[in-house]
Amino acid sequence: MASYLLVPGTYHGGWWFEPVAERLRDLGHRVVSLTLTGVGEHNHLLDGSVNLDTHIADVVRAIDEDPAEPVVLVGHSYGGMPITGAADQRPERIRSLVHLDAFAPRDGESAFDINPTAWRERIVQAAAGNGFAMVPPAFLADRDPRITTHPLASQLQRIRLTGAHEKIERRTYLHLSGFEGTPFRATWDRIRQDPSWTALELPVGHDIIRDAPDQLLELLLAQAE
């Protein structure tokens, strides 16, 4: 049995991972699908103080709640930011670190910094209402009513890393090449040339839970071997 901690991307709660999480549980694994502060069912906690450090602390807390078992730590999209910060603080607790079409920041970078110009403009526009809550685009909100606003500061705050996360033996990056206009192209180009990563690619869109759930399950199960 393995222990999995799954961290979703912008606007999404832990529910996004549940179709695959349930299949992992059915196979006997322990799975936590985490909802970050200020998002999803925790949306009522969203104010101007919720930032990347808040989300890193969310992940670290979830890791510490299962001290007996090293975790397979998985982040999708924005989720790559807080899992990187948490892995840097708890490298000895990580069995495998998995970035699913996600940010993989270096010290001093923010999600906003990594994003190309067009995506930066979307972030600014999304928070134009009150200045601290990003409003999801209509196509996402129409697809699932559980989508909520997301804290802008989590996208703007630069991460601080010691480099301890780079010593984790198993680090995997999955690039989803069917994501048109992906903001992760530069990240993928860097990681696939780095031998310390296992770099994988699937020709599907960014919503891997919808587009390739079987392949995702196979990848996650491989992390427990």
Q: What is the pLDDT of residues 99-136, one digit of tens each?
A: 999 999 999 999 999 999 999 999 999 988 888 999 99
pLDDT of residue 142: 83
| 68: pLDDT strictly greater than 80 | no
Residue 20: give the domain boundaries: 3-222
Catalytic residue among 77, 96, 110, 154: 77
| Cα dihedral 87/11/24/194 (nearest 10) | -40
What CATH number is given to the structural domain containing 176? 3.40.50.1820
H helix or E strand, kind and range, residue 147? none
Domain count across the chain: 1
Question: Where do we find the tokens 């049995």?
Answer: 1
- Distance CA(16)–CA(183), nearest Å, equals 20
* 77 catalytic residue (yes or no): yes
pTM (2 d.p.)? 0.96
Q: In whole numbers, what is the pLDDT of the chain averaged over residues?
A: 96
Is the distance from CB of 78 to CB of 154 less than 8 angstroms? yes
